[in-house]
C-alpha cells in the first residue's frame, strides 16, 4: 500500500507582477496525511490552496519546506500523483476513450489493454456509450467525469483535485460529488481536494484542513466523522453536518457560503486588499 503524504512546513513567496514586491502566499502549511485519507483544503480566495496543490503535484518548487510521498521527497510530477483540473484539461481532438487512455499511453501500456481499461473507467464514471464522443459533444458534467476517469485509469496512489466541480451547475455537482466518493471507495487513493465550498468539503472528506488568510497557516484540522457511504439525502440534514458547516463558516469569517463565493468571484486581487487590511478577520 502507498500514498502517505507528508506536507512538511511549506512556504511559498511570489514576486507580485505589478508592484514587484515579494508576496508570501503560503506562510507555513504542514499536514501528515495517511494513505487512503480524503482530505479537503479550504480557505479564502488567494490564501494559497492552488499553490499548495501545485507543490504537492510537483509543478512548483516551494520556497521553503518539503513534500514527501511514502517518505521520498517530491522533486517533480510523477505517476504516483494524478491531478484533476478544474477546466477538465481534455484534448479536444481526442475521443473520450483516447482521452481516458492518454495517461496509460504515456506509460507505454499496450493498445488493447489501454482500450479495455479506458472502457472500464468510462463505465465506472457513468460514460458508457460515450467513449467515441469528442469533448465538445459532452456536457460540462460529462467532461469532468472524463477528466476524473483519465486520472483514475492510471491508478495513482494520490489524487489531487483543485476545485474540480467549480464550473459545474449545482445539481450536477452534487451528483458528481457522490460519484467521486463512490469511485474513491473502490480504489481508495489518498485525496487532496481543494475547494472553497464548505458543504462540499464536509460531504467529501475524512478531514478538512482550514487555511487562513495569506501568508497562510493551518487554522484548523478537523476530522469529519459522518458515516460512509454518504449521499446528500442522508448527509444534508445530519446534525453533525449542520454543526460542522456552522463551525467552518465561522472559522472562515463569513455568514454563509454566498459570501465565500462572492470573494472567489471578486478574485484574489480584491480579497487580498481585504486580507492585508484584516477586514475579513473577525
Q: Does 25 bind ligand ADP (CB under 6 A)?
A: yes
Distance of closest approach, residue 24 Cβ to ligand ADP, in angstroms: 9
Bridge partners, 230 (sequence order): none
Q: Does 51 bind Mg ion (CB under 5 A)?
A: no
Distance of closest approach, residue 160 Cβ to ligand ADP, in angstroms: 13
Q: x/- site string to Mg ion, residues 4 to 43, per CB under 5 A?
A: ----------------------------------------
CA distance 82 to 87: 15
User: Which residue has its beta carbon closest to Mg ion?
Assistant: 50
CA distance 181 to 130: 22
Specify the stretch interacting with ligand ADP by CB under 6 A; choose among 42-50, 132-140, 149-157, 223-231.
42-50
Which residue in the set 3, 27, 36, 48 belongs to the binding site for ligand ADP (CB under 6 A)? 48
CA distance 182 to 188: 10
Q: Does 45 bind ligand ADP (CB under 6 A)?
A: yes
110: burial class by Cβ within 10 Å (0-12, 13-18, 19+)?
A: exposed
Which residue in the set 4, 36, 37, 49 belongs to the binding site for ligand ADP (CB under 6 A)? 49
Q: Does 54 bind Mg ion (CB under 5 A)?
A: no
Cβ–Cβ contacts within 10 Å for residue 111, how many?
10
Distance of closest approach, residue 84 Cβ to ligand ADP, in angstroms: 15
Q: x/- site string to ligand ADP, residues 183 to 222, per CB under 6 A?
A: -------------------------------x--------
Question: Which DSSP string do the residues of 78-123 spell out, in sequence order?
Answer: -TTEEEE-TT----TTS-HHHHHHHHHHHTT--HHHHHHHHHHHHH
Q: Is the distance from CB of 183 to CB of 152 less than 8 angstroms?
A: yes
Give how far Cα 185 sits from Cα of 46, 58, 241, Å: 31, 25, 20
Q: Which residues bind ligand ADP (CB under 6 A)?
A: 14, 17, 25, 43, 45-51, 214, 268, 272
Amino acid at each position: 500500500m502507498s500514498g502517505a503524504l507528508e506536507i512538511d512546513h511549506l512556504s511559498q513567496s511570489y514576486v507580485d507582477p505589478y508592484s514587484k514586491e515579494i508576496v508570501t502566499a503560503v506562510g507555513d502549511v504542514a499536514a501528515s496525511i495517511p494513505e487512503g485519507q480524503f482530505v479537503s483544503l479550504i480557505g479564502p480566495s488567494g490564501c494559497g490552496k492552488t499553490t499548495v496543490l501545485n507543490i504537492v503535484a510537483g509543478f512548483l518548487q516551494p520556497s521553503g519546506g518539503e513534500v514527501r510521498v511514502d517518505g521520498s521527497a517530491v522533486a517533480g510530477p510523477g505517476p504516483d500523483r494524478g491531478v484533476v483540473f478544474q477546466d477538465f484539461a481534455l484534448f479536444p481532438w481526442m475521443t473520450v476513450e483516447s482521452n481516458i487512455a492518454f495517461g496509460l499511453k504515456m506509460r507505454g501500456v499496450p493498445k488493447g489493454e489501454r482500450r479495455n481499461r479506458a472502457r472500464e473507467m468510462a463505465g465506472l464514471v457513468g460514460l458508457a456509450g460515450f467513449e467515441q464522443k469528442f469533448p465538445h459533444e459532452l456536457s460540462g458534467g460529462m467532461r469532468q467525469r472524463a477528466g476524473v476517469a483519465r486520472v483514475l485509469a492510471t491508478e495513482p496512489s494520490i489524487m489531487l483535485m483543485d476545485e474540480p466541480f467549480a464550473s459545474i451547475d449545482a445539481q450536477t455537482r452534487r451528483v458528481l460529488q457522490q460519484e467521486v466518493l463512490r469511485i474513491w471507495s473502490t480504489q481508495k487513493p489518498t485525496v487532496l481536494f481543494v475547494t472553497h465550498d464548505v458543504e462540499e468539503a464536509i460531504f467529501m472528506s475524512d478531514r478538512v484542513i482550514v487555511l487562513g488568510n495569506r501568508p497562510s497557516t493551518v487554522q484548523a484540522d478537523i476530522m469529519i466523522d459522518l458515516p460512509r457511504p454518504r449521499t446528500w439525502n442522508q448527509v444534508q440534514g445530519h446534525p453533525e453536518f449542520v454543526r460542522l458547516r456552522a463551525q467552518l463558516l465561522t472559522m472562515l469569517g463569513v455568514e454563509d457560503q454566498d459570501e465565500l463565493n462572492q470573494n472567489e468571484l471578486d478574485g484574489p486581487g480584491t480579497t487580498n486588499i481585504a486580507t492585508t487590511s484584516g477586514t475579513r478577520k473577525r
